[in-house]
């Protein structure tokens, strides 16, 4: 083709235009967030009905009513009677207090450390971030005090918690002071969130800097151990929080390695789709080779208390679902969770409004659809709670047996 026949490039984008687009995108996101959360610039925790509270406490509504009135000796909050007089609503804090007073709550044993739970998958679109936030919220509904750490530079978990990462989150508000060794304790960067008993360490794009700083530091100082940076900083907050949930970066880079070294339990959301299954095999191969390399070169030992694969975004009527499920179960039979997270428009619509299923309060659609969605998350959180309680029980037994 002759040069004169070439179509001129009319839509080239230079660096100045890229910055302008980035500025516009951040401004639009901030306006969108405020509009969706109007009239409040921050998210608000939902109210819980007596029916919802009864399900969490594994009681029926009549028992909740009794404990609020005749059976109440001051340990149960009474909530607020609705205008119809036929129901009660509880603030999130009241519901958590009720749950802790009920027989279903199992406290962290005295002297035991909090459990670090990382939610990880290298493939995008599996629901990792939404699941991370929902698991953290759900564990507070079992009575626990929880910390959510966003380690993904894309900061989607931070956004779900009601913050626009730029400009609302600065580098000093993230884990980066720990990475740069300007601080030694993660407690210094925790902030209270809108959700009672759920604190947050947010993220922003500054976290990309960790994967430049850590290898350079390691190269200049042979005695440096980049993989222990987060683990050492966890010590104090393990005493403060029952569970620390981490939304991990979507790659096995330096910050991810440090995260996994600090992790007790690893949760892997895995949709029963062919490409997701194929990606999971690479995830485990890279994982195995990483820890084999660290063990061989630096005598690093790592043992997870548990690894749990949770089938996510499950489409019950999809033709391929059962086939891929069988592959996953055959491959990872010892890691499979029993509960599954359903793929519903309700969950997708909630995410579009910066919410998880636990944030929903006044759902205008089918009650059956809402119940199926929230029951699927509740079932997964119940499994995680059982694993956490089992870890505490084993560690307490080890102390007794020396």
CA distance 230 to 260: 9
Q: Residue holding tokens 């009864």? A: 54
Q: Average of pLDDT values for 322-345?
A: 91
The answer, yes or no, to whether residue 18 has pLDDT greater than 70, is: no
Nearest to 163 by CA among 175, 155, 174: 155
Q: Average of pLDDT values for 311-326?
A: 86
The answer, yes or no, to whether residue 167 has pLDDT greater than 80, is: no
The DSSP bridge pattern shows strands 265-270 and 198-201 to be unpaired
The answer, yes or no, to whether residue 399 has pLDDT greater than 90, is: no
The answer, yes or no, to whether residue 1 has pLDDT greater than 50, is: no
The answer, yes or no, to whether residue 9 has pLDDT greater than 60, is: no
Two tokens, residue 278: 């194929």
Give the mean pLDDT of the chain: 87
- Helix runs in 69-143, H state only: 92-101, 128-140
Q: For residue 260, is it left (φ>0), alpha (ψ between -120 and 50) or beta?
A: alpha
CA distance 27 to 225: 39
DSSP annotation of 45 reads: P
Give backbone dihedrals phi and psi of 283, rounded to 5 degrees, phi first. Answer: -55, -50
The answer, yes or no, to whether residue 233 has pLDDT greater than 70, is: yes
**Can you name the CATH fold of 115-401?**
Rossmann fold (3.40.50)
Burial of 294 (0-12, 13-18, 19+ CB in 10 A): middle
Helices and strands in the chain: count of H runs, count of E runs? 16, 11
Q: Helix, strand or coil for residue 199?
A: strand
Which of 27-31, 94-98, 146-150 is predicted least confidently? 27-31
Which tens digit of pLDDT belongs to each residue from 282-300?
A: 888 888 888 888 888 888 8
Highest mean pLDDT among 12-26, 37-51, 88-102, 311-325: 88-102
| Total-model pTM | 0.90
Domain chopping of the chain, boundaries? 48-101, 115-401
Which tens digit of pLDDT belongs to each residue from 22-50?
A: 777 777 767 776 766 655 557 889 999 99
């Amino acid at each position: 083709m002759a040069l004169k026949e070439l179509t001129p490039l009319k839509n080239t984008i230079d660096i100045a235009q890229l910055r302008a687009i980035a500025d516009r995108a951040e401004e639009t996101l901030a306006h969108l967030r405020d509009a969706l959360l109007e009239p409040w610039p921050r998210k608000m925790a939902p109210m819980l009905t007596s029916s919802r509270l009864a399900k969490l406490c594994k009681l029926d509504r009549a028992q909740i009513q009794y404990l609020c009135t005749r059976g109440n000796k001051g340990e149960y909050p009474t909530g607020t009677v609705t205008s119809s007089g036929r129901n009660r609503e509880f603030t999130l804090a009241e519901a958590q207090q009720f749950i802790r007073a009920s027989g279903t709550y199992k406290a962290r044993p005295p002297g035991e450390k909090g459990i670090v739970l990382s939610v990880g998958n290298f493939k995008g679109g599996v629901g990792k971030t939404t699941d991370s936030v929902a698991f953290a919220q759900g564990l507070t509904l079992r009575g626990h005090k929880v910390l959510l750490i966003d380690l993904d530079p894309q900061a989607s978990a931070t956004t779900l918690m009601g913050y626009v990462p730029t400009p609302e989150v600065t580098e000093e508000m993230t884990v980066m002071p720990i990475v740069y060794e300007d601080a030694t304790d993660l407690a210094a960067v925790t902030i209270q969130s809108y959700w009672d008993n759920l604190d947050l360490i947010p993220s922003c794009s500054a976290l990309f800097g960790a994967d430049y700083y850590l290898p350079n530091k390691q190269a200049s100082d042979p005695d440096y151990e980049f993989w222990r940076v987060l683990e050492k900083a966890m010590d104090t907050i393990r005493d403060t929080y029952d569970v620390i949930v981490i939304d991990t970066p979507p790659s096995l880079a330096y910050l991810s390695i440090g995260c996994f070294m600090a992790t007790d339990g690893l949760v892997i959301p895995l949709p029963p789709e062919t490409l997701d299954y194929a990606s999971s095999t690479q995830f485990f191969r890279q994982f195995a080779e990483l820890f084999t390399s660290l063990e061989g070169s630096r005598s690093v030992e790592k043992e997870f208390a548990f690894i749990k694969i949770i089938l996510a975004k499950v489409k019950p009527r999809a033709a391929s679902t059962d086939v891929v499920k069988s592959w996953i179960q055959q491959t990872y039979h010892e890691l499979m969770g029993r509960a599954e997270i359903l793929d519903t428009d309700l969950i997708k619509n909630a995410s579009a409004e910066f919410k998880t299923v636990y944030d929903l309060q006044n759902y205008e659609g089918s009650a059956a659809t809402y119940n199926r969605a929230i029951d699927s998350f509740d079932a997964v959180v119940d499994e995680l709670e059982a694993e956490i309680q089992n870890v505490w029980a084993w560690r307490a037994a080890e102390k007794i047996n020396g």
